[in-house]
Amino acid sequence: MDVMPETQTLRPVSLEAKNPFELRVGLSAKVPESEVRAALASGDMGFLHSFTTGSTVDGPGIRVVAWTSGCMFRCQYCHNPDTWNMGNGIPVTFEKAAEELSKYRFGLKLMSGGFTLSGGEPLMQHRFAVKLFTAAQAMGIHTALDTNGYFGYRLTDEDLEKVDLVLLDIKAFDPERHRQVTGMDVDAVLRFAKRLSARRKPVWLRFVLVPGLTDDQYDIAKIAGFASGLGNIERVDVLPFHQMGRFKWKQLNLPYPLEDVEPPSQEVVQRVLAQFRAVGLKAV
């Protein structure tokens, strides 16, 4: 689907992308601030980096993933820093996004897959997110929210019913380390994790393993201990750091703190998996 924002004169940009590693900037830069605010308040329009299809890692089965733009974190290892700024996304009406999703409704059911909203941080646009999840569920499509959890409080209990699975990132446990990794506090993330636990919402916990930054065994032991006490963690995805996003930091002229960091060794990955498994969690 090509989208030409009414308020822009840019060439049309395809909402579909092969993967979220395509660099996209300034695609809604000309949308007036008042329209952005109205869109966020109503959820009638969202700002998307892209739609991708065929993911097997963003929830169960084969997934269609909508990647939102806008994020309040500044993770040192972020591989999509072009999604930090909401103005880099394509403005898409709710109707268009739902229409795009409906193309895949039968295929997704056949493949026991579903729809995942990722980012950026989808809850920067929580009203749009809830509307899309509601539409997806009405089409019989399984829904997953991939979130850093910071704005989890924005979702009402009723909103949460529209989400079948939460992919929750816990980036670090120690408050100081979390601030170092993301620039933001960890408390709101852990509060959201507890709320999901209280509501027995299925969660896949995601942890990005970065040598020298998030690989401290004691901090990981704290995350594992916390997660094992929640009772709703279906699995833990240990995601080894990679450098696929390095070119984006360069092209955006951002100082990249992990320029010379290598992916973790297999030995370290196995150690971290073992730490989660040791407390009874399924870690992959």
Q: Give the separation between CA 151 and CA 189, rounded to whole angstroms.
A: 8
Does position 94 interact with ligand SF4 (CB under 6 A)? The reply is no
Site for ligand SF4 in 139-178 (CB under 6 A): 148
Q: Give the separation between CA 150 and CA 193, rounded to whole angstroms.
A: 10
CB of 206 vs ligand SF4, minimal distance in Å: 10
Is the peptide bond between 46 and the residue preceding it cis, with omega within 30 degrees of 0?
no
Does position 58 interact with ligand SF4 (CB under 6 A)? The reply is no
CB closer to ligand SF4, 49 vs 127:
49
Q: Exactly one of 48, 71, 135, 136 binds ligand SF4 (CB under 6 A); which one? A: 71
CB of 179 vs ligand SF4, minimal distance in Å: 13
CB closer to ligand SF4, 100 vs 169:
169
Q: Exactly one of 31, 39, 40, 78 binds ligand SF4 (CB under 6 A); which one? A: 78
Token pair for 161: 């019913």
Q: What is the largest CA-CA distance in the chain?
A: 56
Could you write out the DSSP letters of every residue in 109-173?
HHTT-EEEEESS-GGGGHHHHHHHHHHHHHTT-EEEEEE-STTGGGS-HHHHTT-SEEEEE---S
Environment class of residue 252 by beta-carbon count within 10 Å: exposed (0-12), middle (13-18) or buried (19+)? middle
Does position 73 interact with ligand SF4 (CB under 6 A)? The reply is yes
Token pair for 241: 């750091």
CB of 10 vs ligand SF4, minimal distance in Å: 23
CB of 9 vs ligand SF4, minimal distance in Å: 29
CB closer to ligand SF4, 65 vs 75:
75
Plot region of 282 (φ>0 → left; ψ -120 to 50 → alpha; else → beta): beta
CB closer to ligand SF4, 67 vs 94:
67
CB closer to ligand SF4, 28 vs 148:
148
Residues engaged in binding ligand SF4 (CB under 6 A): 71, 73-75, 78, 80, 83, 119-121, 148
